[in-house]
Every structure is written in C-alpha cells, then in structure tokens.
Chain A
Amino acid sequence: MPNPRTYLATGIILKKTPFAEADLLINMFSREHGKLRGVVKGAQKSTSRMVGHFEPLTIVEISATKGRTLDTINQAQIINNLSDLKSNLSLISQGLYVAELLDGFGNESNANPHLYNVAVDTLVNLNTNPNQLLNLRWFEIHLLKSSGFGIELESCTSCNNDIQPDHHRYSPSYGGLVCLECNLSTQYSYPISLQALKVFRLIDRTNLLSLPYLNVSNVLLQEMKTLLGTTVRYWVDKEIRTNTFMERLERLD
C-alpha cells in the first residue's frame, strides 16, 4: 500500500539555503503542489549523491516525505539542467528574475500548473533560444495572466469601451488600458505607444515557441520593460532584487 506521507513532484528549484550542519533547505515551484519547501539531508557534503540536483534553475523530479514543519526530500532526478543558460551570466540573471517572480506570485501548497508551464517554457527558451529578445516580456505577460492579473489590452478598464488608436494610457493598478475620456490621473497611468500595445497583444495571444523574432528597437524594448516591470512590481508589492543585477550587467556590456 502506498505511503500517503510520501509524494512525487516535478518542479523548478528557486533557491537553496544551507540548513543545519550539512543539510540544504530547498525552495521549489512544483507543477503538482505550487511552492514547496523541503530539506535534503547531508546535501552539502561533496560526496552526497544529491549534491548536484538542487542548484537554482534546475528542473527536477523529487520524491519527498511530509513532515510536521518541513518535508524531507529523499530522491531527485534532473529533468533539465538548463546547462547553456547556466554558462552565460546574462541568461543566469534572467533565469533568476523568472525564479524571483515565481516565488513572488506562486502560492504554497496551491498548484498552478499553467503558471508552472509558463515558467518552464520561458526557462527552456532562454536556454535554447537566447536570441529571442521578448522571452522575459512574454513571461511577464503570461505570469500575470496565469496568476489572475491578466492585462486588459482591448477595452478601457474603467468604462469598458473599446480602445481607439492613440487614444489611451496604461495603468498597472487598473489592470491595463484606460481611455483618455476616463481621464485617469497621470499618477496612476503611463503613456503607451501603439507599437508597444501591438507587441503586447501579439505576446498575449501567442505561444512562446511560435513567437516571431521581431526587429524591436531598443527604445520600444525599454518601454515594454518599464511598463511590464511596473505592473509586476505593483502586484507583487516589493522591489525585484534581480532587476538591479540585470541592469548592472547591461551597463557592463
């Protein structure tokens, strides 16, 4: 008879922290159980057979036992190590941005398989297709959608009327576009260009693997990054730490 205290899960390692003498505390985002925390006994020792399985940004399958406060991870198998991503500093920082947002938007013990798939698609695409400039923008839009904060890109979030070209602003707190008639204070809304809106709509309805390589200017990329970054920060309600590091790397390039 199967032991009900033991369970299997597939997930992305978000973070590992040294715990007790030689153990590791693992934070992961799993398809089956949402955010999970578990201890891996002796995993800090170099001879541990589990030592390489729990690096952040690794997709693993685990077998764990429920505990009173923390679960114990007994076995692990790497599904995708994302090794190309981990050999490029800029991609590592982008992967960690995905991990930080997953940690912020995911719920403990509350499965969100759609969000899990969005995160896996993004990480795998960063690993195999790093030239796609819109990887992170696709992730942000679909992360918000999977978490119940999808951005309204067709009609005004205030009056519900259809948006007319160049007659709109963008409001993170209202959850999308606002028409000029609604006259939302500039404190709560930002200008958004027609090109940015078109790219947002394309990303919103497209699978990441089918997303075309768009010849997007740096100005447009920056506009989209700022608007989506503001929206993500608004909903997660804290500063995104990996952003600072990504900006630092961009300056270094």
Chain B
Amino acid sequence: MATDPIPSAAPALAKLIQELNKLPGIGPKSAQRLAFHIIRLPAPEAEELSRAISIVKTNITLCDQCQNLTEATPCNICANTNRNVTQLCVVEDPMDVLALERTHSYQGLYHVLHGSLSPLNGIGPDQLKIRELFQRLSNANIEELIIATNPTLEGEATAMYISRHLSGQQLKITFLARGLPVGGSLEYSDDITLSRALQGRQEM
C-alpha cells in the first residue's frame, strides 16, 4: 500500500508529490524537491510546464509507418524524400532513433518495436510492433534490414525472432557490430564482449 508522502502536507501538494513519485528514477525525496520547486516557480512557468505535459499527451501519436513518436503521421523521417528508402533499421525504443540520428551516419528509415521480447515479463511478439514490421516489409521495397536491438538477452532474442520469421525472403538482414566501447579498456572487458570484438575484427 502506498504511504502518504507528507502526512501534514496540503492535499494538493501531497497529490503533486505522489504523482511526481510515479516518474521513473524519482524517489519520494526527489518528488518532494521537484514539488517545492514547482511551487516556487512563477505562475506562467508552472502553467507552461502543465501545458507542455497536456500537449504532449494530446498531440503525440505513433507514426503509422515507423511507429515512432510524432505529432504528424508520417513523421519527419518517413516523409523525408532524401532518406534511403531501401534501408530499414529496427530499434527497440524511440530514444534509440534519437541516439542513431545523433551519429549522422545513417540515412535510412526506422521501425520502432516499443520494447523487446521478454517472456519472463509476459512480453511476446503481440505486445511489440513486430506485426507492423512484417506488414511494412511486405509492402515496401526494403533491401536491407538492420536489426539494432540492444545487445542483451532480450534484444538478441528479438533479433533472432525477426530473422527467423523472415528467413527465406529476398532481404539482406544485418545486425549492429558487438564489441568494445570507445573509451573502454581491454583489461576490464568481460569475456563475451571481448570474444564478440574478436569475431567482428576488421582489416585496417
């Protein structure tokens, strides 16, 4: 049962703390700090914050092509005619699209799955945007499918599930390379990462 964050606080303040406490990574203390910060904000700034939350909830939708978060469908990336429409990169979350876009190294399209297969948590193919991916692949002229799921057990299982489903199709399926992070050190790398790095070594 949830405990009252501050028993003696005004109900409105207690409610705000309770709601902030539900955000990821926000504990009761942080929720209190944020709530008091909001109270001290000038009224227009607090209203701006409230409006931004409200607008996000009403305006943000999923792009009907790539399933990424967008205000208009198709999204900016899908609607951009300069992108390479023969490459499709499959990612787990909308944040992964932002990370890949920051690299400026990829000019193809995306497909967001909104998670990865996690049988232990009851997340199967039907809970992800996998069916939409297969539909998209059957309708579009995609030549290369880049599976960029996370290098975790769940991410790898998702990649294997997709590639198993698409086996036998005229489609090049690739995975992101696994290996050492920039700034990392060989000495402290785990055996799996090192062996993956060795397997994926490149000629200089």
**A→B interface (CB under 8 Å):** 14-15, 20-21, 46-47, 49-53, 55-57, 78, 81, 83, 86-89, 92-93, 96, 99-100, 241-242, 244-246, 248, 252
- CB A154 to nearest CB in B, in angstroms, measures 35
Q: Number of residues in B with C-beta < 8 Å to the partner?
A: 27
B interface: dominant SS: helix
Pairwise interchain contact A96-B119, C-beta atoms closer than 8 A: yes
State the CA gap A46–B185 with chains docked (Å): 11
Pairwise interchain contact A52-B161, C-beta atoms closer than 8 A: no
Identity of the chain B residue whose Cβ is nearest the Cβ of A241 in the assembled complex: B122
**B→A interface (CB under 8 Å):** 25, 117, 119-122, 124-125, 152-153, 156-157, 160-161, 164-165, 181, 183-185, 188-193, 195
Query: 5 new A-B pairs (CB below 8 Å) besides A46-B184, A100-B120?
Result: A49-B190, A89-B160, A89-B161, A89-B164, A96-B119
Among A46, A83, A252, contact of B165 (Cβ-Cβ < 8 Å): A252
Among A49, A86, A246, contact of B156 (Cβ-Cβ < 8 Å): A86
A interface: dominant SS: helix
Pairwise interchain contact A241-B121, C-beta atoms closer than 8 A: yes
State the CA gap A6–B189 with chains docked (Å): 24
State the CA gap A252–B163 with chains docked (Å): 12
Pairwise interchain contact B181-A46, C-beta atoms closer than 8 A: yes
**Given the contacts A46-B181, A47-B183, A89-B161, A78 and B192 also touching, CB distance less than 8 Å:** yes
Pairwise interchain contact B192-A245, C-beta atoms closer than 8 A: no
Identity of the chain B residue whose Cβ is nearest the Cβ of A103 in the assembled complex: B120
Identity of the chain A residue whose Cβ is nearest the Cβ of B160 in the assembled complex: A89
State the CA gap A78–B190 with chains docked (Å): 8
- CB A12 to nearest CB in B, in angstroms, measures 13
